[in-house]
A and B are shown apart, each in its own frame.
Chain A
Amino acid sequence: MSAALEPILTRNIGVPNSEKIDVYLARGGYSALQKALKMDPEALIQEVRASGLRGRGGAGFPAGLKWGFMPKGDQTKYVCINTDEGEPGTFKDRLIVEHDPHSIIEGAIIAAYAVNAHRAFVYIRGEFFLGVKRWIKAIDEAYHRGFLGKDILGSGFDIDLSVHRGAGAYICGEETALINSLEGLRGEPRIKPPYPAQIGLWGEPTLVHNVETLANIPHIVNRGAAWYQSIGTENSVGSKLFCVSGHVRKRGNYELPLGTPLREIIFEHAGGMRSSKPLKAVIPGGASTPVLTSAHLDLPMDFESVAQAGSMLGTGAIIVMEDGTDMVDVARRLMRFFVHESCGKCTPCRVGTRNLLNTLERIVAGEGEPGDIDLLEDICSNMVGSTFCPLGEAAANPVLSTLKHFRHEYQYYLDHKKPMTAA
């Protein structure tokens, strides 16, 4: 077991009324902002770059680099707080928004100061009704105490922040789709480049960050890049909220250093399997990431190691499945998600996901035909590399990865017209 980590992102979670500003202030909140406002913005960007912090929304892009891509100078710029958490298996951002919203606000103000932006937006999932209420309350409190608004804390820096509620579209977690939605349009992604740091919201440079990413910022500012570097692995620095769901005894969020072995997360922190049935399969980073098996339990959960194992760290949403789980049906279910959430803009994704689902539903209904496995692979090969955004690419993952590890279950369905797990 790795050395116990002091809670960083979860340090306020569980404290009574942790969402209120008085509690946040009493626990040292907004001290990083006071420190940051006395720093040179360029030095702040350097500090975040040196910390090695990578985006926690799924892609793992270095946060400091993203800040560095924003143009210097006084032109209009925006910061967006991506609270569109919708990746099946993921419930970490909801935890921070509902119980520690000021840590995100503080991180966002520091980011805005570093890139010299004076307007910031929260984009939150429409489904998060409590989250919307908590966001609005927290922002009101921050205005009231002078952390938001004109000349904050007498620094001469102005920053406004408001909440924009989404309306139910997973794709709006993709930063360019989020920007379209903020503009009141359909949440379809835009072509990249140009990246939002060049042309974003209303055509202006825009920095978009996930909630968990921003919640790291105050700690990095307060305690320094060298301290942050001491947590996690060389290239996957810091702690991570791992969301464990499925067939485990203790489902929930666990804050652990990046690089913590999958086995430790599942069997020590999440209490192991819920019954005597052994572990069969694991999705390591949310529905978009390829399925792994019990053979991967010693995998360190960091960006590089999970990628080497043929999957992705994604959002750190670990979905655990016990023996007896029908993996073809798992693929069918995940495909229903992608069909529902495909925005329809590009053909490989819109038609590809639908064709995959039709084929999977036919197989699960016992109406599969001999060539169906080839057909699935053929459809996937026409999607990977040819979709407009990462959603379409990810949509092939459930099929390709279950075919890779559980091909015999597909074959059994085709041969016997029923699941192998029912045999």
Chain B
Amino acid sequence: MSQATRFRDPANQSMVLTALYIAQEQYGHLNQEALERVAERLELPVSQVYSTASFYSLLHTQAKGRYHIQVCEGISCALCGGAETLIDYLQDKLAIRAGGITPDGMFSLEVVQCLASCGTSPAVRVNDELYDDLNFDKVDRLLDQLAEREEA
């Protein structure tokens, strides 16, 4: 009853997510050129690669800041001073709306669902790093640190 034959090349197709991650790192986000290159390398239709890319929230088809800030709006964060409280604070602080990017391209802000830090909420993720047990002071310090890192 094997259905394996329905794929062009199962090994290539299974590489799509990994290849998209690599392309995203190289191009900053998955623009048309990035998607076409992945499709070409894996010998798959661009439509199929785009179909996969557009499904997952960590794969971005729009430009993101060098520091992409994801704020959890989940229930356990909301109960402990996170979610809208933190989102509003960051929106004011960065002068952008969630979904936006600062004019210098340094920060972008996104509202996300659970980051599995409910025991240490509120939680925020910046690129590949998780920050939890946050409050306004800690958020201030985090943004300062990121700005310093940028200058270094």
Interface residues of A (CB under 8 A from B): 85-91, 93-94, 125-130, 164-170, 181-187, 194, 198-199, 202-204, 243-247, 251-253, 283, 287, 317, 319, 321, 325, 330, 333-334, 336-337, 340-341, 343
Contact = CB atoms under 8 A, between A and B. Distances in A.
A203 B117 contact: no
A167 B58 contact: yes
Interface string B1-12: 111101100100
Nearest to A126: B58
B114 A167 contact: no
A283 B74 CA distance: 13
A275 B104 CA distance: 43
B4 A202 contact: yes
A341 B55 CA distance: 10
B14 A182 contact: yes
A167 B49 CA distance: 14
B57 A167 contact: yes
B14 A333 contact: no
Given A86-B116, A168-B58, A203-B1, A333 B17 contact: no
B116 A283 contact: no
Contacts of A91: 116-119
Contact of B57 (A169, A199, A243, A283): A169
Given A165-B17, A199-B3, A129 B128 contact: yes
Interface in B99-147: 112-121, 125, 128-130
Interface string B69-100: 00001111011100100000000000000000
B55 A127 contact: no
Given A126-B56, A167-B20, A283 B13 contact: no
A170 B2 CA distance: 28
A321 B80 CA distance: 10
Nearest to B51: A186
20 contacts: A87-B114, A89-B75, A91-B117, A91-B119, A126-B56, A167-B21, A184-B14, A184-B17, A185-B16, A185-B51, A245-B118, A245-B119, A245-B121, A251-B80, A251-B121, A252-B119, A253-B119, A287-B114, A319-B75, A321-B79
